[in-house]
């Protein structure tokens, strides 16, 4: 993918700050040109987010609790981690 997902995700995280979360679908929607196309972009966004989590830059949350992005089912939120 020509767009750098890592940069997009971290840009969104920085805009939200340490106290707020965001949905990976917000990134996918930014990338999509058609109404329902964003759903097909969710896997690449989640993979990129998983790499950022591995680097200690983000956490993945569900219902306010940190979860494993690779195994969790259902809606998730991403949040920047303080360094």
Reference 39, options 21, 27, 52; nearest CA is 27
pLDDT tens for each residue of 3-54: 699 999 999 999 999 999 999 999 999 999 888 899 999 999 999 999 999 9
User: Are 57 and 10 in contact, with CB atoms under 8 Å apart?
Assistant: yes
Question: Domain limits of the chain?
Answer: 5-80
| Confidence class for position 67, pLDDT limits 50, 70, 90 | very high
In this prediction, residue 79 has a pLDDT band, given cuts at 50, 70 and 90, of very high
The CATH class that applies to domain 5-80 reads: mainly alpha
The kind and range of the H/E element at 5 are helix 5-16
Residue 1: pLDDT over 60: no
| Burial class of 60 by CB neighbour count within 10 A (0 to 12, 13 to 18, 19+) | buried
pTM of the prediction? 0.91
Q: What pLDDT does residue 36 have? A: 82
């Amino acid at each position: 993918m020509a767009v750098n997902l890592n940069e997009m995700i971290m840009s969104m995280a920085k805009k939200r700050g340490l106290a707020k979360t965001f949905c990976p679908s917000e990134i996918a929607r930014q990338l999509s040109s058609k109404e329902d196309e964003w759903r097909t972009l969710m896997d690449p966004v989640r993979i990129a987010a998983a790499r950022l989590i591995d680097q200690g830059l983000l956490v993945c949350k569900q219902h306010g609790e940190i979860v494993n992005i690779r195994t969790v089912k259902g809606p998730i939120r991403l949040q920047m981690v303080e360094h």
